[in-house]
Amino acid sequence: MALRVGLLGFGTVGSSFAEVLATSEAEVRITRIFNRDVERKKSHAKAKFVPAETIWTSDATEVVTADDVDVVVEVIGGLDPIEGWLQAALQAGKHVVTANKQLIAYRGSELIALAAEKGVQLRYNAAVAGGVPVIPGIVSGLSGDRITRISGILNGTCNFILSAMESGAEYADVLKKAQSLGYAEANPSADVDGFDARAKLCVLARLALRAELNPDEVPAQTISSVSAIDFAYAKELGCTVRQISRAERDGDGAVRARVGPMLVPKEMPIAWSHDTQNMVVTSGLFGGDVVFSGHGAGGHPTAVAVMSDVFTLTSGSGQVRFVAAKIEVNGDVRAPHYLRFIVKDKPGIVASIAGVLAEHDINIDALLQHRGHSPENLPFVVTTEPCLRSQLESAVAAMTRLDFMLEPPLVMQMLTSDDHPTD
């Protein structure tokens, strides 16, 4: 008997799922589709891939509790009301496949436990990195290792923006282009401010580090403060800038985690990711570094991951469950840092900044200043030797009050090829 799918959402991913399914030879068919404004969705170009007998509805409960649905596929996103709908589906004894990273990050443990109680499966390989099989890779391929750290580019929109800025574009212009291409929402905060990436990081931490993290405790820094001048200075330092998500177990049992723009040495694989590509690097105690890379944004890559989860259900494969402990998040990473200042030039600026850093036990590693800028709006950069982020933030707060400072300094962590932020 064909596996019967109830589809929640017929947007970019949902319509692509219908297209992918139509080209497959799997014994799977869509019996019901939920979406608001059903008549408009029926006229969607990809509605031609939906079987004629499929029932369309604007009432989600008609999908999640229907007798002719074996698996509910959710590709809408968000917590409310999605959590209630998927709880109802699991309670009704239906498998669930979701691409919802926020739901899995915040409510995943409870939903996985409910699925186990009801004898069904909750699968979410599409929740992180779209079509890149990082979750099954960790669960099936690396479960024998002890993974100590995850580093990744987990948001394709930010990678699109920053890799374009690396070629000389300005942030505002690239953001508009990303919005016009459908990579970024009208309100891009979830992407550019790091909330999307940190949810994905928490999903991976549960699987790779066996650590249950509260996403709200993971520091997230916006990329919107990065400008073209930062790429010029980064290049001089042998680096580029990417939005990096990192989580690592430390010796005290806590997990150090942070999401934000960071300087990445050009020789590191994570610096090679461009456009909408995602990349995840797992660092194992025995297996070393393993790299997962591919396109993480867009309807087709995500639909492939969703379809792969559905295929797994048709094969009768069981679900691997890991025990994850609730772990305190510590964002106070020790690392070298990049400080970019915009000042009104006057004598004694460098001495004042060096004095503040010295007061906080922070040593300067290098000072960079390019010629040709107006003394009324002068950018320059200081890099530091490794220090705790908390030390640096205290120093920056003091610097912001200096009379020559035109805007708050930009602070970015600098990765190193042998980076060990908990040393």
Q: pLDDT tens digit string along 268-303?
A: 999 998 898 999 999 999 999 999 999 876 789 899
Is 182 found in the same domain as 279? yes
Residue 80 within any structural domain of the chain: yes
Domain that holds residue 399: 334-414
Q: In whole angstroms, what is the distance from residue 242 CA to residue 152 CA?
A: 10
227 phi, psi to nearest 5 deg: -125, 175
CATH number for the domain spanning 143: value is 3.30.360.10
Is 163 found in the same domain as 107? no
Q: Phi-psi region for residue 194, left (φ > 0), alpha (ψ -120 to 50) or beta?
A: left
Residue 307 within any structural domain of the chain: no
| Model pLDDT for residues 155-184, shown as the tens digit of each residue | 999 999 999 999 999 999 999 999 998 888
Is 368 found in the same domain as 289? no
Is 70 found in the same domain as 148? no
Decide if pLDDT at 261 tops 50: yes
Residue 104 within any structural domain of the chain: yes
Answer with the one of 264, 295, 326 that is the final residue of a domain.
295
Is 30 found in the same domain as 75? yes
Quick one: pLDDT at residue 297?
67
Q: In whole angstroms, what is the distance from residue 326 CA to residue 108 CA?
A: 13
Across the chain, what does the average pLDDT equal?
A: 93
Lowest-pLDDT choice from 137-141, 199-203, 296-300: 296-300
Confidence of residue 241 (pLDDT cuts 50, 70, 90): very high
Nearest CA to 240 out of 267, 276, 217, 278 is that of 267
CATH number for the domain spanning 67: value is 3.40.50.720
Is 265 found in the same domain as 339? no
Is 350 found in the same domain as 238? no
Is 280 found in the same domain as 139? yes
Is 202 found in the same domain as 183? yes
Is 263 found in the same domain as 166? yes
Quick one: pLDDT at residue 45?
92
Quick one: pLDDT at residue 32?
98
As annotated, the active-site residues are: 200
Return the beta strands (E) in 204-319 as ranges. 211-212, 239-249, 255-265, 277-284, 288-295
Cβ-contact 412, 262 below 8 angstroms: yes
Number of domains in the chain: 3
Q: In whole angstroms, what is the distance from residue 339 CA to residue 350 CA?
A: 12
Residue 303 within any structural domain of the chain: no
Decide if pLDDT at 31 tops 80: yes
Answer with the one of 295, 310, 344 that is the final residue of a domain.
295
